[in-house]
Each structure stands twice: as C-alpha cells, then as structure tokens.
Structure 1
Amino acid sequence: MKRPRTPASRRSARRPASARNTLSIALSAALFLAAGAALAQDASTHTFHLAAQPLNRTLLSIAAQSGVPLSYDPHLVEHVQAAPVSGALTAQGAIAQALKGTGLEVVTTDSHALAVRRAAPAATATEDARPKADRPQRPVPPPATADTTTTTQLGTVTVSATRARRDDPQRTPTSSYRVTGRELQQQHITSLADLQQLVPGLNVQTTDPSDTQITIRGVGDGGGQTSGEQNIGMPSSVAVYLDNVYLPRPGMLAGALADVDYVDVLSGAQGTLFGANSTGGVIDIHTPLPSSTLTGSESLSFASRGTVLNHTMLSGPIADMLSGRIDFVHNSTNGDVNNITNGHTLNGNSSNSVRGQLLFKPNNQFSLRLSADYSNENDSPTPVTYSSNSVNGVNSFLTHSSLIRNRVVYGGDDHNVALDDENSMHLVQGGGSAEANYRFDNGYNLRSVSSYRYFNYVPSVADSLSVPVYANSGTQFLDRSWSQDFRLDSPHGQYFDWAVGATYMGENEATQAFTRYADSKLPGLYYGSTAYDGLDIIRYGTLHDEVWSGFGQGTFHVTPRFDITAGVRLTYDKKGGQFIRYNKAPFNSGYLVQYNTLPSATLAFKYLLTRDLSSYLALSYGEKAGGLNVSAGAASKAGDSSLVIAPERTKSAELGIKGTLLDGSLSAKADVFLTYVNAFQTQSYDPSTQSTYLVNAGTFRSRGAEFSLQYTPDDHLLLQTSAVYNDARYLNYHHAICPPEVTLGPAGSTAICDLTGNQVFNAPKLTFNATARYTWHTLNGLTSFVSARYSYRTWMYGTVDDSAFTRIPGYGLVSLSAGTGGKFSRGSWTASLWVNNLFNKTHYQRLVESDYGSVLGWIGEPRTIGGTLTYQF
C-alpha cells in the first residue's frame, strides 16, 4: 500500500459520554448509516521485519500493521534513524525496539493509545547506589500524545486506530496498482474517468453514467459506438466491485470516489476470485470503515466554471457494540460547452449522494456490516462537432447540412455548438448490502455478502444540428441486480492455505428507446427519404440474467521462498431476453434464452529472491458470459442468430519482479505480459438502420511491458512514476464493418473490411504517469506541501472499425497543487490551491462517428483552477 506522506493530525482520545450520546441520537435519526469496525489497541503480537531506516517510516509501518493509535511530534523524529525491528512483538514492544539508541521512549496515554516522546533523564550511578528510600523522588511526567519536554509548539502526527486491511492472501501476484483515498484527495481525483491519470494501462471512455467503457491493457469493454439507442445485453470484461459487491454498470459508483479507503486496479484475467466477467481485469473499490470514536470531516472545494464539491462525514459509536458512519457528497459544475444559439452553458452536472453504514460487532469473532446508499443526478452531456470529412472529394455532411440550412460549428478549441435542442438526463440509483464475517476459534473465516441495487436512467437526447431533425429521444434504462456470495478462508498454513466460495447473481434490465423525428420536411431532406418525416421509432428490450458460480483456490508453500497458487471457478449463466422494434425495420425476436458454462483457471508461481525482492509467473484463462442483442435493428435482415453473442475467451500470461531497494526507500516492479482474446465481444453500428448491435469481432492479442517506481528518500519527498507499453492488434478480424471512409464511397462500395493486423481500438500504445510531492513542517506547527503530476497517453482509435476519422489524438496533462495545514481546536485543517490541465490542453475522452462522415467528440476537462478547505477531527 502506498504510504501517506503527511499523516493527518487527529486526536485519538475517547470522547466524553455526552458527546457519544449526542452522536447516538444524530446517527440513529439518519436514514442511511454506515457500519464497520475500528479495532482497538490490544496486546496481540505481530510479526515484524523492518530494516534500519528513517524512524518516521518505521513508526508508520508498525502503526499500519498493528492498527494501534500512535502519536508523535514530526520534528522529534525527523532525521532520526530507527534500529532494526524483527520478531513476534506487540506494537509497543516493536516501537521500543525501534527506539533503541535514539533517546526516545514509547508511553501509553490516558486514552490507551501510544505516544513517542523524549526519554526522561536516567538516574546517575551515585543515585542508583543509594537505598531506594534515600533516592530523590523524580517527578513522573504525565502521559502525553506529544513531546512534553520541548519548548517549541509543534504539530503532532497521529496515526489513527483503524487497522490496515490485508490483501487477499489468495490473490495472485500479478500487476496491480493501489490508490488510497488520501491520494485521490491530494490529486483531486473525483471520478472513474480521472483515475486513468494515476494508473497506467487503464483507459476509461465515458459520455454519461449510462455509457462508460473501461479497458486495461486494451482488454475490456467492447463499447465504442453511439447512436439513438444503447445496448444492455453484454457486461464488461473489466469488473467493478464496491465493498465486495459486483456492479453491473460502472455508473453505479455514484459518489463513491469521494469516499474511498483505497482502490485496487488489477490487470489480467481475474476470473477465479472475482467471477466470470473479469477476464480483462478488476477495479476493486473499498470505502472507509467507521470509527469507534467520534470522528468527522468537512471538505469543500470551489473551482472554475462554478464547480463545487462538498463531502461531509460523521462517524462514531452508537452503542457498546454498534458503530456507524454517514457520508454526504454534493458535486456540481456549470459545464464547458457553449451553445451559441441561445447562450446556454452545457455539459454540466449536479449530483447528491448519501451513503451510510452500520456495524454490529459483539466480539472479535463476529461482525455484521450493513450499507445503504442513494444518489440523484442531473446532467447535460453534450458533444461538440469534432470534424466533417470528405470522401472522394465530397463532404456529404456539409452537402446535407446545406439542404436543411444547418449551421455547422466545429467546437474543438472554443467548445462551441449550435443547437436548436439540448441533451439532458436524470438518474436515480441506490442499493444496500450486508456483509457478515465469522472467525472460528481455529482461524477459519466465513464471509457472506448480500446485495441489491437499482439504476433508473431517463434521458432526453437531441441531434447535434441547429435545426430540428429529431429531439426528445433516447433510451431509458431500469436495471435491478441482486447477489449472494459465500466465501470460506482457511488460516494461514505452514504448507498450504485455501479459499472456497459460491455466488448467485441475478439481474433484470428493461429499456424503452425512442427516436422521434420532426413533423416537417427537414428529416426527409436530410436523410433523403420522406419516410423520416414525422416518424417515431420505438424499441423495447428486456434482459434477465441468472448466474451460479463456485470456486476454489489454494496456495502451496513449497519452501519458505517458493509458493504455487492454483485456482478454478465454474460458472453457469442463463440469459434470456426479447427485442421489439416498431415502425422502421419492425422486428420482434420473441423471448430468446442462452445457456453458457464458463470455466476460469489460474496458476501462479512466486519465488522470493531476497527478503525484499520476489519474482513471479502467472497464467490465467477465463470465459466471459455471452450476450443477447436486445437492441438490433439489423436483426430483421440478419436473422435471430445475429441476436446471440458467444462467450469471450481470454488467455493471459505475465512474468514480473517486484520489491524494495535502498533500505526500503525505493519500491519497484516490472513485468511483461501477453494476452489473447478470442470471440471478442464488442459493438458495431449499422448506419442504414441507425442502430448499435453486438458482435463477436474475431481474435486479438495484447502484449507489452510495464514498470512502476516509488522513491521516498526521506520523510519529505515522494517521487512516483509508472508506464505501460501495449501493442494490441487484431489477429483475425476478416469480416469487420468498414469505416465511413469506405462506406461513403461510390455506390456499391464494400461494407465488409479486413482489419486483421490493425491496432485494437481503445488501446493507446503508451501510457505514462508521474507524480512528485514535497512536504515540510514548520516551527509554528504547520505542515505544508507542493505537488505536481503529469499524465500522458499516445493516440488511439475511438471506434471498433478503426476509422481514421475517430482517431483520438494523444495528449499530456500537467496538474499542480500546494497547501498547508495545522491543528485547530479538537482537530486539524488543510487548505490548498490547485490547477488541473495547467496548459489548457484540448483533449477528448471519446470520438464517435455521426451522420455522413461527421465526428462527435466529448471534450476532456479544460484548465480548472480551484481551492479546497478541509477540517477533520
């Protein structure tokens, strides 16, 4: 886990009973409460292996591993070298061992936390020789959380008592990136799309919460086309999990990235531990656990274009065995696209979300965590006209625009559009989950996770023209999903440990799609047929999915240096659905049913080269669930067989090395990887019926290398850099839909092209990220910092047909921030100023084909200047 460079100042003492009673009343009255367990300090031992290093780093490691509250003055430990710590020790014993020869000591405070301070002067030999009754009685200094012998007033660093979560012991040692909630706050990352600026190899294309495509190393969601409808019949192969609950849609995250403990991004097939639909990787998100003492925070940000982000949190005890947490998040911005027709500012959003948890923990063996959340969002997602293109010297878009007197505005640099009508969307979503854990006396742990979620999306979509061809269209979604998961883990064994589990998941989805053409002659003129005048196209789609799955995975400790991990999962998927289309190309599929048995397997070898350096080889195989076309206007011509999409099969291998160097100040990892994807599931677009449909797009290969470095030479400086080079190409895609530069050619031009050997779309060849942060403490008790971030990615194709028209240019973004903070009253405050996209680089999240060779683009965040004020106690 990446370590915070500036731990938050926080009091760890227990609050008065009156404060706890006040909190009980406040939290009990809330509709949604959070639950989790903060484990208090105990006398249990932990195995430590810490080399001699800067003392601050050792103290942070001991506190994180043991979960014991620890306070110390940062100036007191600055430039002090800790002694090595090794063995099975209590937290206090480990700290005492680290403090040998430093002139410091560890004491227990009146709040049962630990504190580091200067050691009291030792008695002289003369004094020791006297009878005890005759020795001068030295006053015993009172326990304190700060150094009581210093005269300067300095800030106190407190590591809170929430025990660091362990990685899954059965997780294979493949490439992964962990981003903590603190890092997200420091970097002002608030959305899934922004996460790719910290994690190389991750690519997120999004237009609104209903339409998000994720790939890792070029493998993932096959989305990439847009039209008047969306297709719901196929899950992504990059699975998103929130607190161990699978989210069928990435848009279900709502305000979750504002309330995060940590995010793990795992590359490669993860089908054994995470389920069949994770053959491309996993984004595993965990929210913070509630505190056993009264804690709270308020963070308020203001930025360009009327941007406001507010996060309010309150957590603490409700009863002796019950604790809770509640988070409220408001996020809004006016947008960055200007409609020159009426002066409106578009592409903005406003959302409010609340998430609560309750934890019942009667003893150290059993815990029950209940979570619930609700979100309400309104957006105005608006693309600009990126380009119109000529084929054989003819620009068909301009020709047809002149027929209807459409005002063509290219909105690249100035973000302008000319629209007679505007897009809007309304989203209401929420859900709940229950996670129970029981640890048996013999060390086995049984976990149960139950969940239910709903997603209700209602859009109103306009065309991208200045005259009315169609408006008030779009696809409404109602998505409901539920799951039950059981998992049993063995205790860590000398030679073997294992985990087994079973999962049931269900999902009901329904769509109502409308395309309403204007009741005038404009649609007929524009599309070349009077059949469009006043036409309403109505489409209904339903999908019901049931999944039963079981897995087993174990790790063999062949020698103290050599581990072998092997696992299998077998998934049975039953998918049924129906598609009905009225008016234009009418079609009724009837109720279709698809059955699939989906195996997954993994095999990994890990060898410890030295105590701090390990190598690994990981092999995996997975099959992702098949799909049904529940939105395919071409089905009336292609037949029912075109509605059924075969499972996608993925084979991957990765060889890597990871560890620490330079006495732990340098963390490094590097690997090479190779992935084959067969029966690639993606979307295509039929311009004749203006419909998106699902296809199996042949075979492709993704191969490359990556590295990551983190250097922390002292307690002030943090340097991070990482990069992924990925060559993703179609090995067999002989029957691809041709791009518009071919289909818009002379009459009779071929509609089928061979893309074998071409680069896979949504897969930039190189992604690179770098971060530098410097923190320092001042004598007036303040802690200040400066930070810089650079994120770069090369060009990529934006659509599956590899059209040159939708080639997204590469770009690099620079972000800066600076701030300071200190103690105030019972807590601490931080104030910062920041700027994202410092050089105002125009870049695109997504480019898609539109009518007659025109291209629409969703612009990424322009230069944004803001400030954030945070207070926590």
Structure 2
Amino acid sequence: MHARLFESDTMHLTSIRSLLLLSAALAPAPAFTQAQPTTEPETAQTAPTFGDTITVTARRREESAQQVPVAISVVGGDQLDAIGAFNVQRLQQLTPALNFYSSNPRNTAINIRGIGVPFGLTNDGFDQGVGIYVDDVYFARIASATLDFLDVDRIEVLRGPQGTLYGKNTTAGAVNITTRRPTFDFEGSAEVSFGNLGFKQGKASVSGPLSDSLAARFAVSSTSRRGTIYNVTSNNWINEQENLGLRGQLLWEPRADLEVLLAGDFSRQNPECCAQIYVRTGSTQRPLNRQYAALTAAQGYEVVSTNPFDRLTDVDASLNAGNEIGGGSVRAIWDTGPGTLTSITAYRYWNWLPENDRDFTGLPINTASNNPSQQKQYTQELRYAHVGDSYDFLIGAFAFRQEVRTQGLTRFGPAASRWLLNPTSALANDPSVLDGLTANNDIRLDNTSLAAFGQFNWQVTDRFSIQPGFRVNYDKKVGLYDSVVTNGAGQLVTFASTDPRIVAQRGVASPQRFEPRFSDWNFSYDLTATFELADDINSYATYAKTFKPGGVNLNGVPNDAAGNPILAAGAVLPESVTHYEAGVKSQFWDRRITLNVGAFRTDIDDYQALVVNGQFGVQRGYLANAEAVRTQGIEWDLSARPSERFSAYVAGSYTDATYRRFTDAPCPPELSGGGTGPVIGAPGAPGTNSPANCDISGQILPGVSKWVFSYGAEANAPVTFLEQDGEIYFGVDANTRSSFSSNPTPSIYTQVAGYSIANFRAGFRTDNGLNIFAWLRNAFDTEYFEQLAVPSGNTGLIVGQPGDERTYGLTIAYNF
C-alpha cells in the first residue's frame, strides 16, 4: 500500500517516455529494479522476451513508459554509476537534448533544446527555464547541479514546458532526480573508484528498519581529483574536484494509508578553481594600441602557453570555488480513499564563496573578483490526485520564497592603468591611478512565487485520450544593486567629481545604486491528445501556451550621460512561450526493438537574453528582451536487445534554435570596441567605428549543437571467476555533437568545433551484488572545449575551458 502511495505521486502525473528503454541492459543491474509494483494493475501486459519493461506511474497507475506521451529520458542510478556520470555535466552525454555549461558553480547553465537560461550570464534576478527537482523539491539555483549525484535511484530529463503538474513553472524542461528510499528490509552498498589524475571516489549507503513503522537510510559520497590545469604562478594544479555529500532519510508509516518521509542533505565543494585559460586572440575594432598584442608587449608580458591543450596558466589572483548546499524536507502522503493528498515542505540554503582572476593573465590587472553569496529558499506544495475508471485528475498549489544576499568585490592592481586606460593619456603610465581601485557591491533579491495548477486526463475510448492542464502564477521580485567605488587613496569615486584621475577611475568601475522591481500574474495551459495506432505503437500531440516570469537586473545597468542608472533596464518582461510537439513510440520483434520519434517547435516572444557592456569593470552583463526566438527539431531513439547477451542504443537530436528577431543585440567582438560615427568599419579592423548594436535576427542561439548523437552497446557472457558465478561484460557509450556558438551573439572567434567522446568499460559482475570493472573515458584523448568566453574590454583575448583529457581507472562495488 505504501509503495503504491509513493509511486503514485512521485512523477507528478507527467506523461513520460523512455529514451533508453534498454538502460537495464547497459548497467550492472536493471535501472528500475527498485520500482514498486502496484496492487491494482491497470491492465495485464505480455512481458517482453528479453529484459524488463520500464514502468512509470506518471498517471497514478503502473504502465509502460512507452504508453505515456511526453519526451523524457529515463536513466537508472546503476547505469549512471556504470558510465561514470556522477553529475549533470556527465549526464548530458546520454541525453542529446540536454546542454550543460559551467565556468564555476554559480556561472552554470542547463539548457534543453537550446533554451533555459541566458548563456554566459551570472544574474540571480531571473528564473531558470530548466527546473532541478530532487525528491519533489525544487532547487532554485543551477549551482546545485554541479554537485555529485548521491544515492540516486533514477533521473528523468523531461523536455518541453513543465508547469501544469510541477511546483515551479519551467518552460524548457525539468531534471527530476529521485533518490533511493528507506527500506524495511536491511540493505546496503559500497563502492570505491581509483583512477589517474589522483581520482578517488567512495560511495556508501545503508538502509533498514528501526521499528515496524520506521525505516532509515543514510548515504555518503566523496570525490577528489587533481586539477587539470597547472598554474605556474602558484605551482599548483587547479580546476580540481573536492566534493563531499551526505543524505539521511526517515520513513514513518504509522498506518496503512499514511506515510511521512523526512529527508536532509548536505553537499560541499572546496576546490582551487576555476580558471579559464588563453585560447587565442582576434582583432576587434578597438585602436591597435589597445588590443591584446600591444598591451602585453607594453608590459613585457608573454602568456605561459598559447596552446590551451598544454593545460598551463599563470593567473596570479587567488582562486576558490567554495560551494555549500543543504536543506531538509518533509513529505506526507495520505490515501484519503477517493484520492491521494500530498504535502511537501522544504527549506534549502546555498552558500557560495568564490575567488576569481577576471583578467585571465599573469598581470596584476584585476587582483580580486569575488562575489560571495548566500541564498535561502522555502517551498510548500500541496497536491491532490484522483484516479477513476475513465478519468483522473490532479490539482495543486505551490508557494516559493527566496532570499539572496551577495557581497561583491572587484579590485584592480598596478598593471590596470596601462591595460585599461588609453595609452595616449599620461594617466596610463601612472600605476597609482587604478591601483587599489575597489568596487564593493551590495546585491539583494527577495523573490516570491505563488501558483495553482492542475491536469485532467479523460480516456475517451480504449485507444484515444485527451489531457488538458492549466496553471495560474503570481511572481514578485524586489532587488537592490548598490555599488560603492573607492580609489587607492580611499576617496569615493563619484560622477560629481571633475578630477581627471577620478574621471578615469569611474570609466573602469562605475558607482551605481538602484532598486529594480517586477511583479505580474500569468496564465498557462496545455492540451495533449494520445492515440494508440496499434499494439505497441502509440502517438501523441501537445500544444502548450506558457510563460517564464520576468526578472530584475542585479549586475548593474547602463548609465545615462549624467551617470544615472537607466531604470527602464532594471527589469525585463516575461517570456511568452508557444509550444507544439508530436511523437510516435513503437516496439517491434516482441519488444526487442524500441523506436521513438518526436518533433517539436517552441516560439518565444520577449526572450530573456544577455547584453554585455564593453567596459572592463562597470558591469559584466545585464538582461534584456530579444523580440522573438524559435527552437525546433526532431529527436529519436532506437534501442535493441536481440538477446540477453547483447544490447545497443542510438539516440539523437536535430535542433534548429535561432533568434527570429533581435535587432538591438550586443555586437560580437569583431564588431566592437571602436569609435562612434556614421561609417562603420569592417569586422576586426582596428581603429574603426563600431555599431551601437547589431541585428542578429536569424542567427543561432548560443550553447546548442545542431546535431547531437548518443550511442552505445554492451555484450556479456556467463563465466565463473574466483568461484563466483557471474558474467563478464564489455560496454561502450559515446557522444558526438556538432559545433556551437559560445557567445550570446555568434562570433567567428567563439565557435566551438564539434567533437566526439567515447567511453569504454569492461568488468565482471555476479548475481550476489559484486561488480568489478575498469573504465576508460575520453578514450581517444579528444581535444575539445567545453566553452569559450570573451572577456570584457574588447582587447581581442579569447579564453576557454578545455574538456577533460583521457582518464582511466578501476571501480569495485558491492550491494548487499
């Protein structure tokens, strides 16, 4: 009874399909071996000849993932362990539509089908388009996704708008993580891994009864790895991994119709991280004596290596990426008879303690760039679900409160004057002008969101059903941006001063204070129709009209000629999203072969995009609305298991994501940095005029590859080894993606070339839970970039993050 209660509410009544039906075959154990059977099966199904049918309870009854109608990838926890996908960054290798980019935990983007958050922007004043949920609890900041997965049972990556059944409205999709629950039978697991680069990882969990009605579970995970970049200045390997995670749960079942789950977790990262290193330079329209080559020559500086795959840097500022996340939740599920009532109450916190080098060189230009931040969030969700013979429905309410407090610090050093001021000015040769110039920023956000949502499913005939849904949302954001600037002599830098030194200083670090506000109501709805074309062939079509809430700018906004902030830029409009999707799910050859194909189109008006200010320290970027964006494409997955000894899969996506209309976008670096005037210079022509903005209508969105493929296979054979009966196995998982833009406005300097990554594993596993395997990741040592970036200043410098080199190691795991 209790298992049915839990499973009946976990999936939020969302329709689900499986990208990897045969994930069980590719993992040491079936991905869904812990799925709870229902006591009231909807219909009897013929079991496939080979392998287990992946079942979900999305509509409050057990049914095959092939029978429910929304695009989703389902990956079991055992498969994640097998391929070494211990965080979302590695999960993207299995899910073609998912894109993950991170220069540090706070500056992280998760996009689905090319949309989600503005690429390259660190700003707490807007909502993410891809929701992160762990055991039904919404995580407001993407930073949570950079931590290790901990005791995961399965992960579902839902594609397309989610909001008529989820607590927080998300217009691009959701990553729904379900951890393993406490059990009333004693069980446990332990796993250790060792590899090159000093990689060490340990995981353990234990679960069992404390009484007839109380069960507990505890899990721990620790990961460490030497850095992948060597800093010749500090003589340290940087960009390392240093992660610790703890999770505890208590499950109380006082009677047959009620269960209460109390959960708490703590995760910490404390690496020396994160540096982006020299990749190349490209000419801008800035005067030649203010571009990278001239500036470095004037100070007698040479970068330690011009080949980024030497993995060397000489950054001289302190680096840190301290990241701590934790919280607790109480989930109560009560079977009232006619339906199920669920309450989820949660508190979460996030503490971020960074240190960065934002000039990306070994020169003391930007000696400190730190934005420590503290977040608290409170959520309350109520849902009532009813299942009938020909219909079912769910209604819910959600309340969200978030508080963010950030203390920004930017400080400049003795090399800043020569680097940042016009070389023709006498001030440029005086290091004291900018040495010690400091901006202290007080940044605050109070964010409130309230919603009511619901979905109704009507089984019109045995083969045809319709499923409408709705959402009413209220959002309110109140922010503060207060930047106080002082120079090395302790004087306030203000717009009132006419002192030439202070005039030069405020051109680099501008004081500013404003209090942006946003509040609005919106109404979302969707309609899905499903039709069974034949046995094991199901079709669906969805239309959705939804909204992403508006936001506030918390990184500063442009000033007018008098130095006053342009308050109209303090807030951005909501995104208006129109979504269409259709698909067919099919199985053949006694379900040995699964083929699923879907097509989608999403149109967004008032898309929340990034606009960059070209000055060095005034602000890094702010939000604005692009008039229209469209993403459309096709996704497919094919999996086959002709026998119990072999399985294979191929999944792919074609995504055409473009700005349909964006007439006042920021210009790419090759069209930036020049003077003003009616005659615009050629791209990259030094000393010519630059346009105030650029029309990039029709150009591609950043961070999305047009083509992505995930593919793999596993073969196994029975064997007796060390007097243990089991099987040896060999598996491969690979991912190929085409090129993508790594700048909000496409640039010839920041196009990341396509690449392929292949991972291999080989091992021995037994029926009693032992699994020993060797692994090889990025087996062919592919040289690729995770992302490229354009530092402010228009010097022509391009920096980036090289992807991981070849790694290898051994894992020993045991379940008992």
Shorter-chain TM-score bucket reads: 0.7 to 0.9
Q: Are 2:431 and 1:539 aligned?
A: no
Alignment of 1:52-131 (within 5 A): 53-54=48-49, 57=51, 60-61=52-53
For residues 552-578 of structure 1, the C-alpha deviation after alignment (integer angstroms, 9 at most, x for no partner) is: 210111111001000110001111111
Q: Which amino acid aligns with 2:25?
A: R
For residues 23-61 of structure 1, the C-alpha deviation after alignment (integer angstroms, 9 at most, x for no partner) is: xxxxxxxxxxxxxx989999x45355443753x63xx45
The 2-side partners of 1:566 and 1:391 are apart by 52
Segments of structure 1 that go 5 or more residues without pairing to the other structure are 11-36, 67-163
The 2-side partners of 1:45 and 1:566 are apart by 25
The 1-side partners of 2:63 and 2:269 are apart by 34
Partner of 2:403: 508
For residues 610-632 of structure 1, the C-alpha deviation after alignment (integer angstroms, 9 at most, x for no partner) is: 12111111111111111111111
Q: Which amino acid aligns with 1:857?
A: G
Q: Are 2:632 and 1:686 aligned?
A: no
Partner of 1:605: 529
Aligned partner of residue 254 in structure 2, secondary structure? coil
The 2-side partners of 1:276 and 1:454 are apart by 17
Alpha-carbon deviation of 1:706? 1.2
Partner of 1:494: 389
Partner of 1:241: 133
Change (3 A) 1:623 1:760: same
Partner of 2:656: 727
Alpha-carbon deviation of 1:168? 12
Mapped contact 2:274–2:356 kept (Cα < 8 A): no
Alpha-carbon deviation of 1:753? 0.5
The 2-side partners of 1:165 and 1:192 are apart by 29
Q: Are 2:544 and 1:620 aligned?
A: yes
Aligned partner of residue 165 in structure 2, secondary structure? helix
Aligned partner of residue 301 in structure 1, secondary structure? strand
Alpha-carbon deviation of 1:698? 2.2
Mapped contact 1:517–1:533 kept (Cα < 8 A): yes
Q: Are 2:549 and 1:647 aligned?
A: no
The 1-side partners of 2:584 and 2:296 are apart by 57
Alignment of 1:197-212 (within 5 A): 197-212=93-108
- Aligned counterpart in structure 2 of residue 675 of structure 1, from 592, 599, 602: 602
Q: Which amino acid aligns with 2:337?
A: D
Alignment of 1:143-182 (within 5 A): 173-182=69-78
Mapped contact 2:150–2:246 kept (Cα < 8 A): no
For residues 89-144 of structure 1, the C-alpha deviation after alignment (integer angstroms, 9 at most, x for no partner) is: xxxxxxxxxxxxxxxxxxxxxxxxxxxxxxxxxxxxxxxxxxxxxxxxxxxxxxxx
Change (3 A) 1:276 1:490: same
Mapped contact 2:26–2:731 kept (Cα < 8 A): no
For residues 285-306 of structure 1, the C-alpha deviation after alignment (integer angstroms, 9 at most, x for no partner) is: 1111122111111111111211
For residues 63-93 of structure 1, the C-alpha deviation after alignment (integer angstroms, 9 at most, x for no partner) is: x799xxxxxxxxxxxxxxxxxxxxxxxxxxx
Q: Are 2:332 and 1:405 aligned?
A: no
Alpha-carbon deviation of 1:308? 1.0
- Aligned counterpart in structure 2 of residue 221 of structure 1, from 117, 120, 132: 117
Q: Which amino acid aligns with 1:523?
A: A
The 2-side partners of 1:631 and 1:255 are apart by 25
For residues 418-473 of structure 1, the C-alpha deviation after alignment (integer angstroms, 9 at most, x for no partner) is: 2233421212220001111011223x000111110000101111232112112232
Change (3 A) 1:65 1:482: closer
- Aligned counterpart in structure 2 of residue 46 of structure 1, from 41, 47, 52: 41
Q: Which amino acid aligns with 1:733?
A: F
Which structure: larger Rg? 1
The 1-side partners of 2:26 and 2:697 are apart by 51
Alpha-carbon deviation of 1:215? 1.1
Alpha-carbon deviation of 1:671? 1.2
Alpha-carbon deviation of 1:802? 1.3
Alpha-carbon deviation of 1:747? 4.7
For residues 212-257 of structure 1, the C-alpha deviation after alignment (integer angstroms, 9 at most, x for no partner) is: 10111111111315xxxx3211121111111111111122246452
Partner of 1:753: 694
Q: Which amino acid aligns with 1:46?
A: P
The 2-side partners of 1:571 and 1:416 are apart by 49
Change (3 A) 1:608 1:793: same
Change (3 A) 1:716 1:642: same
Aligned residue pairs: how many? Answer: 734
Scaled by the length of structure 2, the TM-score of the pair is: 0.86
The 2-side partners of 1:596 and 1:515 are apart by 34
Change (3 A) 1:487 1:49: same
For residues 168-215 of structure 1, the C-alpha deviation after alignment (integer angstroms, 9 at most, x for no partner) is: 999971211111111101111011111110001111101222121011
Partner of 1:358: 250
Aligned partner of residue 5 in structure 1, secondary structure? helix
Aligned partner of residue 184 in structure 1, secondary structure? helix
The 1-side partners of 2:27 and 2:370 are apart by 47
Alpha-carbon deviation of 1:279? 0.4
Alignment of 1:457-496 (within 5 A): 457-462=352-357, 463-491=359-387, 493-496=388-391
Mapped contact 2:410–2:439 kept (Cα < 8 A): yes
Alignment of 1:186-201 (within 5 A): 186-201=82-97
Partner of 2:796: 853
Segments of structure 2 that go 5 or more residues without pairing to the other structure are 1-17, 428-432, 486-505, 675-686
The 1-side partners of 2:769 and 2:599 are apart by 44
The 1-side partners of 2:124 and 2:237 are apart by 30
For residues 464-516 of structure 1, the C-alpha deviation after alignment (integer angstroms, 9 at most, x for no partner) is: 2112112232211111111000000002x233211000010000011111111
The 1-side partners of 2:619 and 2:172 are apart by 29
The 1-side partners of 2:445 and 2:648 are apart by 48
* Aligned-residue CA RMSD (Å): 2.5
Change (3 A) 1:410 1:8: closer
Aligned partner of residue 144 in structure 2, secondary structure? helix
Change (3 A) 1:276 1:371: closer
Identity among equivalent positions (%) equals 26
Scaled by the length of structure 1, the TM-score of the pair is: 0.80
The 1-side partners of 2:56 and 2:110 are apart by 33
The 2-side partners of 1:707 and 1:308 are apart by 36
Mapped contact 2:666–2:694 kept (Cα < 8 A): yes
The 2-side partners of 1:292 and 1:41 are apart by 16
Partner of 1:786: 730
Q: Are 2:753 and 1:809 aligned?
A: yes
Partner of 2:202: 310
- Aligned counterpart in structure 2 of residue 414 of structure 1, from 294, 305, 310: 310
Partner of 1:426: 322
The 2-side partners of 1:328 and 1:712 are apart by 34
Mapped contact 1:38–1:292 kept (Cα < 8 A): no
Worse overlay, 666-675 or 383-392: 383-392
Q: Which amino acid aligns with 1:601?
A: Y
Q: Are 2:762 and 1:870 aligned?
A: no
Alignment of 1:292-311 (within 5 A): 292-311=184-203
The 2-side partners of 1:391 and 1:592 are apart by 33
Aligned partner of residue 401 in structure 1, secondary structure? helix
Alpha-carbon deviation of 1:9? 8.1
Partner of 2:12: none
Q: Are 2:470 and 1:568 aligned?
A: yes
The 2-side partners of 1:596 and 1:632 are apart by 22
- Aligned counterpart in structure 2 of residue 449 of structure 1, from 324, 344, 347: 344
Aligned partner of residue 596 in structure 1, secondary structure? strand
Partner of 1:5: 25
- Aligned counterpart in structure 2 of residue 661 of structure 1, from 574, 582, 588: 588
The 2-side partners of 1:752 and 1:599 are apart by 34
The 2-side partners of 1:172 and 1:389 are apart by 50
Aligned partner of residue 251 in structure 1, secondary structure? helix
Mapped contact 2:100–2:108 kept (Cα < 8 A): yes
Partner of 1:385: 278
Alpha-carbon deviation of 1:684? 2.4
